[in-house]
């Protein structure tokens, strides 16, 4: 599912493609998605917003990296992936780092996922295709936790 990112509001970016001014501290983000288009495009957008992005194409890869000591401020996690689903990965991430903020993204919401997200502090749901203002809002919520 290709992210449909809406244009930034007028004046949100500087001249000649300079990054938009951040509303909070830069985040170190682990993006977990099996879609190569998302893994190629979303880091560009997040980098433009001033954040650092690392990627993983499977839930287990993300878990292995976190278990090995990778320090990130946020995980953006696709729900519908082969192998471990986003929900399964989320539960295991919480076993490794209880307070790690997670944005669970999905284009298709399965029963029970919304309840899981509501039951865990520091977890947000982001529907695909991504809308830039909504993505910014979720990132700002994470920045406010820091």
Q: Residues 49-96: pLDDT tens digits? A: 999 999 999 999 999 999 999 999 999 999 999 999 999 999 999 999
Question: Domain limits at 74?
Answer: 25-145
Question: Helices (DSSP H) in the chain: which residue ranges?
Answer: 36-48, 59-67, 86-96, 113-119, 132-145
- What's the mean per-residue pLDDT of the chain? 87
Q: Does the residue 112 lie in any domain?
A: yes
Quick one: pLDDT at residue 21?
Answer: 53
Round to whole Å and give the CA distance between 84 and 61: 10
In this prediction, residue 15 has a pLDDT band, given cuts at 50, 70 and 90, of: very low
Name the token pair of 146: 């820091």
Q: Is residue 1 part of a domain?
A: no
Residue 13: inside a domain: no
Is residue 70 in some structural domain?
Answer: yes
**Is 129 inside any structural domain?**
yes
Domain count, the chain: 1
Asked, for residue 32, whether it belongs to a domain, the answer is yes
Tell me if 2 is assigned to some domain: no
Report the CATH number that the domain containing residue 35 is assigned in CATH: 3.40.50.2300
**pLDDT tens digits for range 105-120:** 988 777 788 888 889 9
Strand partners, 29: 53, 74
Q: Is residue 3 part of a domain?
A: no
């Amino acid at each position: 599912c290709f992210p449909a990112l809406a244009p930034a509001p007028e004046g949100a970016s500087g001249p000649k493609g300079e990054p938009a001014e951040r509303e909070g501290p830069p985040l170190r983000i682990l993006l977990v998605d099996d879609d190569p288009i998302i893994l190629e495009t979303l880091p560009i957008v997040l980098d433009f917003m001033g954040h650092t992005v690392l990627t993983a194409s499977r839930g287990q890869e993300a878990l292995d990296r976190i278990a090995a000591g990778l320090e990130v401020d946020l995980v953006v996690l696709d729900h519908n992936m082969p192998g471990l689903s986003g929900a399964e990965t989320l539960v295991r991430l919480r076993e490794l780092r209880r307070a790690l903020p997670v944005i669970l993204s999905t284009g298709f919401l399965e029963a029970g996922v919304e309840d899981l997200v509501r039951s865990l502090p520091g977890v947000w749901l982001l529907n695909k295709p991504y809308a830039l203002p909504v993505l910014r809002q979720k990132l700002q919520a994470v920045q406010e936790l820091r």
